[in-house]
Amino acid sequence: MSGTSLDGVDAVLAEIGPAGQVRLLHSHYLPYPDALRTRLLALHTPQPDEIHLAAIAANELAHLYADTVKSLLDGFAADRVRAIGCHGQTLRHRPADGYTLQIGNAALLAEFTGIAVVADFRSRDIAAGGQGAPLVPAFHAQVLRHLDTHRVIANIGGIANITDLPVNGPVRGWDTGPGNMLLDAWIKRHNGVHYDRDGAWAASGSVHPDLLTALMRHAYLPLPPPKSAGREQFNLDWLDVRLGSLDEALAPSDVQATLLEFTATSLADAVNRECAGAHELYVCGGGAHNRALMQRISAHLPRIRVATTATLGIDPDWVEALAFAWLARQTLHHAPGNLPAVTGARGERVLGAIYPA
């Protein structure tokens, strides 16, 4: 898995049983080289010769994915692996226009590793009228649903999404708004680092009420699910316009504090509005390590137990990669991987394209 945070590649070796039970065997993380991260970020907006540049970046990603697989397997025979589930790197996610684009050259990855690759998980759902996202709720329902307790799972990567797992009733899920995306971009601009460790920089600042109000007016937030978001909706250009509308210049740390509150508030509002009766919220993704963010989410949800998925026995760093291993298995078994109540598709669909070894 390589997500909208553009930080690197999360890889897991998973054993999945006949009933869909999942066991994590090994894990490995490989950070993106700074130069690749810069090129991928640039490709999120139109530029000259972008088709060629995207193809070259896809090849580079295939090399990186293959290196990740090699390190992950380290002594584990490749012929024991049925397939690699490869999400790829999203460059565009525009379901309203009928497409989504994740690059990674799955054919080249299969060639490098000698292992079948399942990729392009989102396009089939979009073809069926869905958002193509989020896809992880089907996995959350499989491994994290509780028979007697109403749970919500929050995946906080670049974008934040939640999965509503009621005891009775359908599983629902959608993107709530920004996760780490704006936080990471802002601290990179001002401090030259890729993320705000523990939310310490945000905690050093103060929330600016007028800026928070302006951010919370984003047209995406009140839309009813199903819905999905990405860099198209939440980016520094959008933030700069809101900052420019204020009557005063803000200290960068105060902006960071406000962005953290924006992520916490938009997520908690979605839980309060759409997940009535929830008793527990478990967080996975990079946001689970942001102490200040976890504290603010807890403060907004005083009647709900807030913890990370580690409490449930799954390290929050690997939940999404495990989800795409599970989705790849669904594809190989010709079983659906989407939930129409989540994505808005016309029905269940088998997701992904298979590149044989």
For residue 62, the domain's CATH number is 3.30.420.40
Q: How far apart are CA 21 and CA 16, in angstroms?
A: 6
Q: Which tens digits make up the pLDDT trace of 38-86?
A: 999 999 999 999 999 999 999 999 999 999 999 999 989 999 999 999 9
Q: Which tens digits make up the pLDDT trace of 106-116?
A: 999 999 999 99
Q: Which tens digits make up the pLDDT trace of 195-208?
A: 999 999 999 999 99
Q: Are residue 33 and residue 108 in the same domain, yes or no?
A: yes
Q: Are residue 81 and residue 218 in the same domain, yes or no?
A: no
pLDDT computed for residue 357 by the predictor: 95
pLDDT computed for residue 112 by the predictor: 98
Q: Are residue 214 and residue 341 in the same domain, yes or no?
A: no
Q: How far is CA 58 from the centre of its chain?
A: 19
Residue 300 has pLDDT above 90, yes or no: yes
Compute the mean pLDDT over every residue in the chain, rounded to the nearest whole number. Answer: 97
Residue 43: CB atoms within 10 Å: 18
What type of residue is 339? L
Q: Are residue 30 and residue 103 in the same domain, yes or no?
A: yes
pTM of the model: 0.95
Which value, in Å, is the radius of gyration of the alpha carbons in the chain? 20
Residue 4 has pLDDT above 90, yes or no: no
Is the residue at 204 inside a domain?
Answer: yes
Three-state secondary structure call for residue 91: strand
Is the residue at 184 inside a domain?
Answer: yes
Q: How confident is the model at residue 20 (pLDDT cuts 50, 70, 90)?
A: confident
Q: How far apart are CA 308 and CA 314, in angstroms?
A: 9
Is the residue at 108 inside a domain?
Answer: yes
pLDDT computed for residue 102 by the predictor: 97
**In percent, how much of the chain has pLDDT > 70?**
100
The CA-CA-CA angle for residues 108, 15, 136, to 5°, reads 75
Taking residues 82-94, what's their average pLDDT? 97
Between 182 and 18, whose confidence is greater? 182
Q: Are residue 166 and residue 233 in the same domain, yes or no?
A: yes
pLDDT computed for residue 19 by the predictor: 85
- Establish how many alpha carbons lie within 13 A of residue 233's alpha carbon, considering only the half-sphere containing its beta carbon: 25
Q: Are residue 107 and residue 193 in the same domain, yes or no?
A: no
Q: Which domain holds residue 181?
A: 145-312
Phi, psi of 164 (to 5 degrees): -95, 120
Q: Are residue 154 and residue 236 in the same domain, yes or no?
A: yes
Q: Are residue 67 and residue 39 in the same domain, yes or no?
A: yes
The DSSP call for residue 110 is H
Q: How confident is the model at residue 5 (pLDDT cuts 50, 70, 90)?
A: confident
**DSSP letters of 228-283?**
---TTTS-HHHHHHHHHTSSSPPPHHHHHHHHHHHHHHHHHHHHHHH-TT--EEEE
Q: Are residue 86 and residue 18 in the same domain, yes or no?
A: yes
